Amino acid sequence: MPDLQPPPPAGSPVPETPSSSGLLRSSSVISAATMTSRLLGLIRDQVLAYLFGAGNAMDAFYVGFRIPNLMRDLFAEGAMSAAFVPTFTKRLTAEGRTQAWQLGNQLINALLIVTGLLVTIGIIFAAPLVMLFAGHFNEVPGKLELATTLTRIMLPFLSLVAIAAAFMGMLNSLQRFFTPALSPAMFNLAMIASGFALVPLMPSVGLPPIAGMAIGALIGGVGQVVLQWPALHHAGYRYRPILNLRDPGLREILRLMGPGILGLAAVQINLLVNTILATGEGTGAVSWLSYAFRLMYLPIGLFGVSIATAALPTLSRQAARENPEEMRQTISNGLRLMFMLNVPATLGLVTLASPIVALIFERGSFTSADTAATAAALMCYAPGLLGYSTVKIAVPSFFALRDSRTPALISVGSVVLNVALNLLLIRLMGYRGLALGTAIAALVNAAALLYLLQRRLGGLEGPRIAMAFVKISVASALMAWAAFGTEQWLATTWPGPGTWLQATRLGIAISAGLIVLATAARALRIEEFDDVRRWLLTQLHAR
């Protein structure tokens, strides 16, 4: 595994990977681990849907977890990692591992202090905090109190995920991607196990069954830290309780993190806004939006985050050498690869939303009405997938340039736009308008970031990116047409609600779409498709 390779000598140069195939190799390692985690995440959501459906308990759980989950996404895939990796890489290259470990320890200790204070304040003021975010829950007896209890249980997750994110940043800087990308799987495993082991026990200790899932979230946070420790220890890291606020590296990280949190927070803040507004849309709206967002976010986690994580150390070194040409090529390669993977995913989610949701969730407490409502939300969320993935690549590029102010300002504008769109669309479309407003805001956010980034770097291979996007879109549209037509024909000629029957129909429809996609990509000579195809053939041949 990449995580167990012997470390290179301190200060030795790290090979660059600016090509599409090289970036794909790095991101494929992350995607393999992330795929495992995301699939476990789907199983986790299936357990939640089976046990609790989309009722009051599930609404309360999602509100209770929204605050720590917001911080998790910012830390684990956001501002802390994006601010830390360039600074840690610079310290590692210039001064060696000993000084780099010292910087890592100082960041961990600073995060423990800050998150410890936030957790304490959050637990004390949980009731008014939940009232602020979910005041409409007060209309259902016991729902607001349940959300408050769950919030208090899950808030310590902040400190755990902060440590896990610091470990992730150090390992990524050392070009060790697999274990950090796999660590979220521990969270999902703990939640799945809790659904079967803890949920039935909760009433016997005077707690509601859903509290078992909240406790499982904490256990999962511990697992994320524990999983990464051996790889980091093998690389030479040793924890030390040190903190020097005058350390220039630590100050640089904290300086970038402040506005950087805003720069990467747009998606999560917009999601929080959706949750607040959805609490007034009746029982189930919060859950429908949450289930749909999880499905939509799967391709982002697999491809957008994976490509961005693989590219960030390379971008940081290129920026440190003041080489904009290499940065342009790396960003262009990342964007085109992301389009090749996520444009088909977007159209696939739109055209096959209902059968996908039905196959994954419709059992136990999750009804056919919940399927229809969740699928409608998924169709509205899906157009924003490209925006979300682009932001994952663009914002760290600004961070590599030591510019966290620009994405922060764009993020603020995105949040304002999202709120305005949500307030307008919720009147026209109900809870679905919240999903569509968020998707539009994400696309605008991404477009603004790319425009400013290309100005900053003197171009981004714009014509090449645009041509790739057009070709990929044409091939993906043909894929979606084939998949949708096949699924509709099979649903008519081979009807039935059975899980295996649903899986077979959906599998055949997706296969038909992929065949058309491959044929169209070859006809249009889409080089990014060839990169993916060659890599897959290499992996199969190696096995």
Each residue's pLDDT tens digit, 387-440: 988 888 888 788 778 787 888 888 889 888 999 999 999 999 999 999 999 999
* Nearest-10 Cα torsion for 529, 534, 539, 543: 130
Q: Where are the domains of the chain?
A: 18-460, 461-543
Task: Give the pLDDT confidence score for residue 343 in this predicted structure.
Answer: 92
Q: Is the pLDDT reported for residue 81 higher than 70?
A: no
Task: Give the pLDDT confidence score for residue 11 in this predicted structure.
Answer: 40
Beta-carbon neighbour count of residue 95 at 10 Å?
A: 15
Task: Give the pLDDT confidence score for residue 452 in this predicted structure.
Answer: 92
Is the entire prediction scored with pTM above 0.95? no
For 192-240, the pLDDT digits (tens) are: 999 999 999 999 999 999 999 999 999 999 999 999 999 999 988 899 9
Rounded to whole angstroms, the Cα distance separating 236 from 137 reads 50
Q: Specify whether the CB–CB gap between 157 and 221 falls below 8 A.
A: yes
* Residue 420 amino acid letter: A
For 114-155, the pLDDT digits (tens) are: 889 989 999 999 999 888 888 788 888 899 999 999 999 999
Q: Specify whether the CB–CB gap between 267 and 349 falls below 8 A.
A: no
> What three-state secondary structure class fits 403?
coil
Q: What is the mean pLDDT of the chain?
A: 83
Task: Give the pLDDT confidence score for residue 9 in this predicted structure.
Answer: 41
Tokens read off for 379: 């169709």
Closest CA to 126 of 4, 214, 227, 19: 214
Task: Check residues 257 and 489 and name the one with the higher pLDDT.
Answer: 489
Report DSSP letters for 359-394, one per residue.
HHH-STT--HHHHHHHHHHHHHHGGGHHHHHHHHHH
Over range 479-507, report the average pLDDT.
89
